[in-house]
A and B are shown apart, each in its own frame.
Chain A
Amino acid sequence: MSKRISILTGGMMLCLIIALVSLCLGAVSLTPAELFRAMKNGPNDTAGWIFWYARLPRTAACLLAGAALSVSGAVIQAVLANKLASPSIIGVNAGAGLAVTISCALGAISGWAIAGSAFAGAFAAVLLIMTAAQKTGASRTTVILGGVAVNAFLNALSEAVTTLVPDVGVMTVDFRVGGFSAVSYTRLIPSGALILIALTVLLTLCNDLDVLALGEETAQSLGLSVKKLRTVFLVLAAMLAGAAVSFSGLLGFVGLVVPHAVRKLVGSDSGNVLPLCIFGGAGFVTICDLAARMMFSPYELPVGIILSVLGGPFFLMLLIKKRGGRTHD
């Protein structure tokens, strides 16, 4: 069995085990036998209700958000040729968050309306960053700094909308830092569909993404329609990030930490990176959510806090490494 297949199979198995543990553990723990009985019998007793209406949507949300944000980060990093870029750092998540807030303020609160507006907001943010970077010929660090500014600006607008329309109810702590305690099937199903579509399309475009990552001139000379493909990738990355934000809130650092860890394991070949980002991201967010639920039980932390505690130092480490002269801007 090749190293690639071994790593992917290992990642998938690990992800499945984490998902099972997440389904079992919580304020009320279920044994595997109780879990399977609940799956079989439906929401007819307490265990069944916990499984179908609490654990299953929450675990599915963790898996989907982790996979979506990780792959979105890997794609954005490849398209912008910038390893410090990720949806939460350059304002893509914040764009989605603002659009969701406005959508709720206008009364459009159906699952599809929220997923659609999150996608539109994420795409507008990514387009803004990319256009600014191209027009100004900004360096990689400047793009990140610009993204940080856009992020702060969009978050401020979201806060302003919430202040002016207090009934909007979306900018809770759970949404601001990212969490899954209020996840529901109504929000999860439309966003999950968007995520699965985007992931499926992206998995067929791995070689295109690799060629695009060789640089605009080389990619064009190899027959890639650079502008068209770049837009396609950014639309798909925005779909992923937007859909994830619509039910998980502004989860940070997943799109930065996971693609880096994955590239360390399997190199930069997108045919390996994207599938492993799916399993790695899904498992990582699920295990962080499990920690958020269990660490101070019966109290619960929003998972975004755990992710920021891990991701913040990781981002600093990357910056320091960059300044150490190993890569050049």
Chain B
Amino acid sequence: MIKIRGLCSGYPAYPVLKSVDLDVAEGNVTVIVGPNGCGKSTLLKTLVGIVSKTGGELWIRDEHRNTSDDFVSLDSLTTQQRAQKIAYLAQSKQVPEITALRMVLHGRFPYLGYPRRYRPEDLEIARRCLNRMGVGDLADRPMNTLSGGTRQKVYIAMALAQDTSVILMDEPTTFLDVSYQLEMMAHAKELSNSGRSVVMVLHDLPMALEYADHLVVMDEGKIVFAGKPEDVYSDGCLDRVFGVTVNRVETKDGWKYYCV
């Protein structure tokens, strides 16, 4: 779905990503882990266009083309066209004093022409997405009165309303209690099962190993290892990068990982 080749990006006088190569497959949950400051969030922000790239190439599959060369460069897309292909849930979000329905409705913004007025079908889509996330009954509640977990569901509903093939999530489980964290990961799986590519940054290594279809380990602006969680575990790169020991035990539900 996304091809990243030799990507360099960062801030003026402070390069963060140093020649990153990565393929994001369709219908997968790709989880990026790495120590603080290694460039995980910068990678997501570069894909959305929040941080400018200084080198390399970014390609995304164009569903409207049906040829062998069906990828388009992200550089060739306008901000609006990019938003029709990639949704992004930022790590820290301002909590506006608008209703949950209005928040989700903003997911339709990339599809509006000037003057930007939401159409009845946009309202219908927003209501459907809220219902899909199980928070349809909270449509008229102001966002600042919702709990952190419920608010996160509204943000995912907004990403759903954006109707993109790729959803990027920067630490979506931070500040959530454990039941909401598990629910969030289940939603991510559900989204990938519906054909979307979900790319998320996580700090919880056992959770990353359990839920990722494709696990990417980053350190100092580079990808150290990328592959299936079992392969990442076997390689031992997590131990080296984080300075911890990752272990696993077999249960009836498969491998469960823990850190010591």
Residues of chain A touching chain B, judged by Cβ–Cβ distance below 8 Å, are 81, 204-205, 207-208, 210-211, 213-218, 220-225, 263, 267-269
Q: Mark B69-108, 1 if CB is under 8 A from A, else 0.
A: 0000000001111111011101001101111001000110
- Could you give 8 example pairs across A and B, Cβ below 8 Å? A81-B94, A214-B94, A214-B106, A217-B90, A217-B93, A222-B106, A222-B110, A224-B79
B162 within 8 A of A: yes
Q: Which of A204, A205, A208, A269 contacts B102 (CB 8 A)?
A: A269
Q: Which of B48, B94, B117 contacts A221 (CB 8 A)?
A: B48
Across the interface, which residues of B come within 8 angstroms of A217, CB to CB?
45, 48, 50, 88, 90, 93
A-B Cβ contacts below 8 A, count: 77
Chief secondary structure at chain A's binding surface: loop
Across the interface, which residues of A come within 8 angstroms of B115, CB to CB?
204-205
Across the interface, which residues of B come within 8 angstroms of A215, CB to CB?
90, 93-94
Residue in A closest to B111 when the chains form the complex, CB atoms: A223
Residues of B within 8 Å of A, CB-based: how many?
Answer: 34
Contacts known (A205-B115, A210-B106, A214-B93); A221 close to B98, Cβ less than 8 A: no
Cα-based distance from A134 to B78 in the complex (angstroms): 24
Q: A207-B116, A218-B93 are in contact. List 12 more A-B contacts (CB 8 A).
A: A204-B114, A205-B115, A207-B118, A217-B50, A217-B88, A220-B48, A223-B81, A223-B82, A223-B110, A267-B98, A268-B96, A269-B98
Q: Which of B78, B96, B117, B162 contacts A207 (CB 8 A)?
A: B117
Cα-based distance from A214 to B45 in the complex (angstroms): 16
B49 within 8 A of A: yes
Are B94's CB and A222's CB within 8 A? no
B112 within 8 A of A: yes
B59 within 8 A of A: no
B142 within 8 A of A: yes
Residue in B closest to A268 when the chains form the complex, CB atoms: B97
Cα-based distance from A97 to B4 in the complex (angstroms): 52
Q: How far is the CB of B189 from chain A (nearest CB, A)?
A: 22
Are B79's CB and A263's CB within 8 A? no
